[in-house]
Structure 1
């Protein structure tokens, strides 16, 4: 029996944590689908539909004329209505009750010449845009400079530098750097021109190449350090040469130590090795593909190539089109080809990856390589890890990542940032709830006085979860499984009440040290998540302590002295558990 209870707790806990990580994927809906079982008589279905209409004030109707054989009905409703229906009498007569999710077409930019950008579609960038567009990430374009042509008008720029002419304004006098910057962050959805990959990212223009396309290693090395010192997240270098330079290698290592991802073109000599700087350690070397996904005939390959991306062939439909300038400085849309065009595709996807929260350069490189589309029989390393896949890279990056926006939404919908948390129960319930919240922070502060530690989001998240009563277990149940144990598991905090008895009696299994203990046992050796476990223990201690004073009602123990002592003891045990965990942390 003990093993069964622990198993149920672990199942509920895992559900809660998976739900926590999967918030970004929760869809929107305005309707609910009721799929009645085919073995239910029509008369019985009609009767239940009438009861639903009366009891829930809903108007069920067939989804379409084709829905009658499958008994699929639709009702208007939100998540509260969905939960109520799933817990009602009608659940036994249905195969499932689920949201009628609203799906949308993948984002297609309104830029009129986007249809010419086969290269962006080939890396599946539209699916990547569903998650991120690179907001907040800065990409340094170390090139011939960048001119703000009309299709870069809405693109965000940060301060750069012209190392060729030693001035702050890094104006392009070639067209190469502007074209590269366009692939990374061309203004998008502006009803003009073409699109860019990470079009919400910032561009840092750094001019190291003259109008004739040449530049010195000393200038390039200084530009790399400038970018690293001025908060660039990504560096793109669509340039290269044949000489190994200690100065350049040291600059790249410096940028890598500061968390900058460095991307460089492999070179256009069709040789079995990438040029420098693509060949250096800590640089992602990029080979070029044509519109058929084959290695472009000019692209270098072999040593130093980490991944391949569209570089185009020719200056027509098979090239990479972006807006840049001509020899007279006039803006125009031009198709270029080369590994210089391939590298910014990777730099743009790196910006998307970094925007999801993956920061370390080696982690970003790993995401790029693991998500790349594999190419069989690539004996000469034409493709490196494979072909760039923006959608797969972003999907891999966000797996297990929680953005502040998602975390805030989680708190808003489920925790004490939800106004209902404070309003439910009226003024009588407000002060105890406030005491739970403040109590958890006071316990953490008291612990910190004697065992100094650093405040972190994981610790604060644990305090939130614990002090609001392990709210991530709310409403947990699986349809077509026996409902009783799962509904009991969803009643761990007083404001939720007991799903069976219909009152606010606490469940002794969850109104105890058990879940904090399991969390600490599972997460104590995890550098970040152990603080979530410690915070949860402190939060539950505050929650149980307050309930022991104001509402000592425990299932099977009544609401007298026994229940009060039970809650006090478990609150003390939760605090002791946190204390022990911090001591272990300090001793390691």
Structure 2
């Protein structure tokens, strides 16, 4: 019944999305209405109708231009109330269209000559976001190697910072890393020079905690976090990290969060299954890196602690076109250069910049800004190891969502619809949870039990538990990702017995040892003499039979055996063996069961 309730909730959400689709689709602005009269309507009749409109609604219809007379295209000033009235009037019979005269605007494209090389800004839809805001009035603290005022930061606003390495107010860069990061956030843009930044009207607060060699202490970083919070920073970017948990840093992060600061950190570049600290801490948005193709960059950490993914670049040898291009300094000479870097360090400032755009759009609280970032991300459906968190960063979606104000259930359903979750084929064809095959496995296991109904205590809890465990498991848990908790327990809980062999790897392929009659045989041999556990073993055997049969029919995929006829035959044969084994064990039980 609980599973039927989940299916009912899904269908109710689908119906609500369909019912509200028309209202959600149109969000353009207009100040006038287009009246497109049919070409076969005489001019005299058109004029009579225009006069009637003018008299009834106190408006003045007019030709759109001197070229509109032949097309009978007229404009009348008005709002949605007048639009609805005209659409319901007799005028509809004489027109081809009565519709809003939507206002379209040119998308802003900066004139920076090297902007064409910044694939990363286009991949997060920065241009559409800039039509609404550029981050004015927001301060972003860059906790890094310092920031030098290179030529392409000339027009960027700076606020007071500090060098915690040398204990002085001048927080200039002697490495190049921090200046590059700062450029991604707020490079001077549309200045006819160099490249662009995400939130280029935001203020930068340089806080140096890393030396020229790139290293720094937890104590300095924690002090910099508190400094930023005490000096009115709105966003903190930390493109740094390491191993080892620190109560001092965790306290500083909580302090900054309580003062309303959004905190963003890089996940790390070790290609390991968990983000580094401080990205793993609560109240920190951990960022993994994407390459130019939108896939996880080969170096990026993933798994626990990753909340969202953003462009981090991926270069190949001497070819730097796949990197993130910004103006920084040469670490050896200190001279300004344009350089393409790669790393989660480059991904995090994209998120910091978009957080600044969201803040400038009117969303104030750090948790609300976090929610906008995650809800507006472009979801990735096949992400068993949490490479991407909520999905790919999207500046335009984030600003659009932020400008709607508070996120409502209506916004949530819109987000579900736009990301495909309300499309049944998303679930059927392998979305976050492949709903149809999983339900089919559970129902199939009950059907197999029904075939043996004369021998089985059909509604006993041991049998039912075995049917579910063997067929589909608690599959709704497979998509759960909770900050700082290991993800493998959710994948294990969400897996059926045949899927346990590959649950830790997060792959859809089945291990032939687990996807066979072997485990059901061992369970029956172990529990055959037990009054209740025997029925759990029988249920598991029938559940496995159903899982293997459905998998053979819908998506045969086995490690070492591939996805072809051999895998299909292997699954089908083992499904028959499981059912036969259950039949033999229950044969003769009769009413004594």
For normalisation by structure 1, the TM-score amounts to 0.59
* Alpha-carbon separation, structure 1, partners of 2:60 and 2:164: 71
Cα distance change on mapping 1:131 and 1:89 into 2, 3 Å? closer
1:278 aligns with 2:275: no
Partner of 1:366, secondary structure, is helix
Deviation digits for residues 479-501 of structure 1, max 9, x if unmatched? xxxxxxxxxxxxxxxxxxxxxxx
Deviation of 1:105 (Å): 2.1
Which residue in 2 is equivalent to 1:93?
91
Partner of 2:250, secondary structure, is helix
* Alpha-carbon separation, structure 2, partners of 1:370 and 1:83: 32
Which residue in 2 is equivalent to 1:204?
205
Specify which of 59, 63, 66 is matched with residue 60 of structure 1.
Answer: 63
Cα distance change on mapping 1:89 and 1:172 into 2, 3 Å? closer
Partner of 1:139, secondary structure, is strand
Which residue in 2 is equivalent to 1:324?
328
* Alpha-carbon separation, structure 1, partners of 2:105 and 2:255: 44
Partner of 1:328, secondary structure, is coil
Cα distance change on mapping 1:396 and 1:59 into 2, 3 Å? closer
Which residue in 1 is equivalent to 2:380?
375
Q: Does the aligned pair in 1 maintain the 2:87–2:98 contact within 8 Å?
A: no
* Alpha-carbon separation, structure 2, partners of 1:381 and 1:56: 57
Partner of 1:275, secondary structure, is coil
Partner of 1:135, secondary structure, is coil
* Alpha-carbon separation, structure 1, partners of 2:53 and 2:247: 76
Structure 1 alignment gaps of length 5 or more: 1-21, 403-588
Partner of 1:205, secondary structure, is strand
1:385 aligns with 2:386: no
Cα distance change on mapping 1:248 and 1:154 into 2, 3 Å? same
* Alpha-carbon separation, structure 2, partners of 1:355 and 1:206: 22
Q: Does the aligned pair in 1 maintain the 2:226–2:252 contact within 8 Å?
A: yes
Cα distance change on mapping 1:370 and 1:61 into 2, 3 Å? closer
* Alpha-carbon separation, structure 1, partners of 2:259 and 2:84: 52
Deviation of 1:390 (Å): 1.1
* Alpha-carbon separation, structure 2, partners of 1:106 and 1:299: 32
Which residue in 2 is equivalent to 1:454?
none
* Alpha-carbon separation, structure 1, partners of 2:82 and 2:298: 63
Partner of 1:165, secondary structure, is coil
Cα distance change on mapping 1:350 and 1:73 into 2, 3 Å? same
Specify which of 333, 341, 362 is matched with residue 336 of structure 1.
Answer: 341
Deviation digits for residues 61-95 of structure 1, max 9, x if unmatched? 67857x85xx64134x6559x99999899964245
1:362 aligns with 2:363: no
Q: Which range moves more in the overlay, 91-100 or 146-155?
A: 91-100
Q: Does the aligned pair in 2 maintain the 1:63–1:73 contact within 8 Å?
A: no
* Alpha-carbon separation, structure 1, partners of 2:285 and 2:53: 60
Deviation digits for residues 344-396 of structure 1, max 9, x if unmatched? 00111111111122122221221111111111221111111111111111111
* Alpha-carbon separation, structure 1, partners of 2:87 and 2:383: 60
Which residue in 1 is equivalent to 2:298?
297
Structure 2 alignment gaps of length 5 or more: 1-23, 408-593
Partner of 1:74, secondary structure, is strand
Which residue in 2 is equivalent to 1:484?
none
Which residue in 1 is equivalent to 2:410?
none
* Alpha-carbon separation, structure 2, partners of 1:295 and 1:229: 36
Deviation of 1:280 (Å): 0.9
Cα distance change on mapping 1:79 and 1:215 into 2, 3 Å? same
Deviation of 1:251 (Å): 0.5
For normalisation by structure 2, the TM-score amounts to 0.58
